[in-house]
Amino acid sequence: MFNITTKTMQWGEETLTLETGKVARQADGSVIATLGETSVMANVTFAKQPKPGQDFFPLTVHYQEKYYAAGKVPGGFFKREARPTEKETLTARLIDRPIRPLFAPGFKHEVLVMCTVLSHDLVNDPDIVAMIATSAALTISGVPFMGPIAGCRVGFEDGEYILNPTVDDMQDLRLNPDQRLDLVVAGTKDAVMMVESEAYELTEAEMLGAVTFAHEQIQPVIDLIIDLAEDAAKEPFDYQAPDYSELYDAVKAAGEEQMRAAFAITDKQERTSAVAAAREAIMGALTEEQLEDANLGSAMKKLEASILRGDVVKTGKRIDGRDTSTVRPIVCETGLLPRTHGSALFTRGETQGLVVTTLGTGDDEQFIDALHGNFKSNFLLHYNFPPYSVGEAGRVGPPGRREIGHGKLAWRALQAVLPAPTDFPYTIRVVSEITESNGSSSMASVCGGSLSMMDAGVPLKAPVAGVAMGLILEDDGSYAILTDILGDEDHLGDMDFKVAGTENGITSLQMDIKVAGITPEIMEKALAQAKDGRLHILQEMGKALSEAGEFSVHAPRIETMQIPTDKIREVIGSGGKVIREIVEVSGAKVDINDDGIIKIASPNGEAIQKAYDMIHSIVAEPEEGKIYKGTVVKIVDFGAFVNFFGKRDGLVHVSQIENRRLNHPSDVLKEGQDVWVKLLGFDDRGKVRLSMKVVDQETGEEVPAESKKKEEAE
């Protein structure tokens, strides 16, 4: 009934298995990849005919984590997997980026890739397994895919690169100071196609070494996929790349001169209008048959690319007048918004981000319900890209894949310089509102985020800047590396290479390559040129804010205190009664964790001190020999009980009330009376022994020894 094909290899410390022919047999390609005990099923289907008039490649990648894979029930009210989590969205993008450029040129059939996590061993991250499964499924499906690709994760510890470190190692690099890198690389047999990373100030050489190491480690996986395809691949789909050379010649003849003049305009809005006018002129000169050709969009793009790319490589001059290594003019401002905790406006050419920082308490941490367990995040970065930022009128909805991806890239760049939670016990939320865009708004978010947090008083280890690099690679091998690329250069170029970091090293690297010809030499030059650009931007940022700003009066103050873990129950109280009382009486927020670390937050310093004193009175132990002010709570024949330390009471024996004989304690004391007492010690049963007579009841000072003797003699 089944025609099963299985291929297995040892990869690092785990066994990698690819299997097809048993599940989802009606899909064009279906592969279950297993690494250790983490299994992901990838299913590929594609339309056999393109939609009429389709002028783009409709590839969709979905990645789904099923909670049953880790033996869990989904959290929340509905108990069913709902909209994609951030991890699922980012992984879908991670898979999409390296495979998209490898489909045959001109292929515009709809392609759907669905990856489903079936089993998770809590050791091997499913994202890499999903990428390998996708590549294998595409390779055997018959779709015109110029792969296969493979991917891996790389760590860097004690100067050594580590293949596919565990989920625990990568969960939060801030909690694992020995682990300095979380890098994902995807590539073909001959070239790297995609890089995604967060790092702790690695040098350019260390980062390039990690990419090279990863490319070497994926080679046996590519061979395994090829081995699988030799036994299980379907017949290649009969596809011929469209020949639109005649249409291109007509487009070129009709508008090359006007299009070239349009691209010579340096202002973006004027250039955009001129390019649109050139397109209209071209379409006005074409025949009805040519206008209906589905390849018209490709012919237009080819003309625009040839003009932009050829001039840059030949002359070294770009469409906005810059040379290949110059960064656009930068203006940095901080403290723009009076009521926010921190704000910055970062403008680089025609790209601008208004970035705002908010400081919160432990209550504001984000709960993340992940396959490998639930955890909290105290650093959030949200990126918004409204239509007006590019002068368009468009639909506004919830954050899309692009916004989530760009926000995470900026998050990765900044997380390496955050203070330790024990040193700065705040939840930090950074929001980047892109108000103008013409290239690399994600890197503007990095620069603006760094300035905004410093304006809020966050003690960053160092400021971070980011720059986007581009590449134009011609068929003859000539190329140009571009610093601080424009939107058109990104759209029509061959590489988008974003590098962020401090003066000391790289904190984040993201690279997407559209052609399979990027050599290590080109990457090394791009990294070196990016470093120059990054240092220049950091210098410009330093003019706006040389050190952390004043802590906002509107931000909550947070004080921390450590209590013994066996006292946690006493602070919380039965059903939370005690901690609720502390919050109500003091007016401060109180958060306590399982390690006995308590965070007390309030804009009011008196409220913090009140809560601190209340907690201290519960957990602290009275010290022998110290004097305390207490209240008489009960009088008995042999003495008086005094509440002197929190809720702790002690006995003042009748002989310790005054330096004279009393008939009854009530002769001098009454319930509710305030008295000064000295803690003499504890009896054999642990009972407290107090004394009033050794303390001056007026001043609270201990009576000198000479005075005691005199009173006793009298």
**DSSP assignment, residue 702?**
B
Instruction: Compute the distance between CA of residue 387 and CA of residue 270 in angstroms, rounded to an integer.
Output: 18
Q: With 0-12 CB in 10 A as exposed, 13-18 as middle and 19+ as buried, what is 192? A: buried
Query: DSSP assignment of 377-401, as one string?
Result: ESEEEEEE--GGGGT------S--H
Instruction: Compute the distance between CA of residue 319 and CA of residue 490 in angstroms, rounded to an integer.
Output: 12
* Residue ranges of the chain assigned to CATH 3.30.1370.10: 557-619
Q: What is the pLDDT of residue 516?
A: 66
Instruction: Compute the distance between CA of residue 391 and CA of residue 271 in angstroms, rounded to an integer.
Output: 13
pLDDT, tens only, 671-713: 999 999 998 888 777 788 899 988 988 888 888 865 555 555 4
Q: What is the pLDDT of residue 373?
A: 76
Beta strands 648-653; 688-691: pairing state: parallel
Looking from the CA of 650 toward its CB, the CA atoms found within 13 Å total 29
Domain 557-619, CATH among 3.90.870.10, 1.10.260.40, 3.30.1370.10, 3.30.750.80 = 3.30.1370.10
Q: What is the pLDDT of residue 432?
A: 97
Which of 537, 545, 481 is closest to 327 using CA atoms? 537
Q: What is the pLDDT of residue 48?
A: 93
Write out the CATH class of domain 627-713.
Answer: mainly beta
Burial annotation 231-243 (CB, 10 A radius, 16+ → b, else e): ebbeeebeeeebe
Side chain identity at 342, as an amino acid letter?
Answer: G
Helix then strand count (H, E) for the chain reads: 17, 29
Q: Which fold has domain 245-315?
A: Arc Repressor Mutant, subunit A (1.10.10)
Instruction: Compute the distance between CA of residue 69 and CA of residue 44 in angstroms, rounded to an integer.
Output: 21
Distance, C-alpha 15 to centroid of its chain: 30
pTM, entire model: 0.84
* Residue ranges of the chain assigned to CATH 3.30.230.70: 5-169+186-232, 330-544
Strand partners, 362: none
Q: With 0-12 CB in 10 A as exposed, 13-18 as middle and 19+ as buried, what is 633? A: middle
* Residue ranges of the chain assigned to CATH 2.40.50.140: 627-713
* Residue ranges of the chain assigned to CATH 1.10.10: 245-315
Give how far Cα 644 sits from Cα of 75, 578, 679, Å. Answer: 47, 19, 9
Strand partners, 309: none
Residue recorded with tokens 């639109």: 244
192's tokens? 């790297």
Looking from the CA of 529 toward its CB, the CA atoms found within 13 Å total 23
Q: Which residues of the chain, if any, have pLDDT below 70?
A: 172-176, 516-517, 546-549, 705-714
Give how far Cα 377 sits from Cα of 82, 175, 385, Å. Answer: 21, 12, 23
Q: Cα-Cα-Cα-Cα dihedral of 450, 454, 458, 463, to 10°? A: 50
Instruction: Compute the distance between CA of residue 78 and CA of residue 358 in angstroms, rounded to an integer.
Output: 31
Q: Cα-Cα-Cα-Cα dihedral of 321, 324, 325, 330, to 10°? A: 30
Instruction: Compute the distance between CA of residue 277 and CA of residue 15 in angstroms, rounded to an integer.
Output: 58
- Residue 656, classed as helix, strand or coil, is helix
Q: What is the pLDDT of residue 143?
A: 97
Q: What is the pLDDT of residue 173?
A: 67
Q: Which fold has domain 330-544?
A: Ribosomal Protein S5; domain 2 (3.30.230)
Q: What is the pLDDT of residue 71?
A: 92
CATH of domain 5-169+186-232: 3.30.230.70
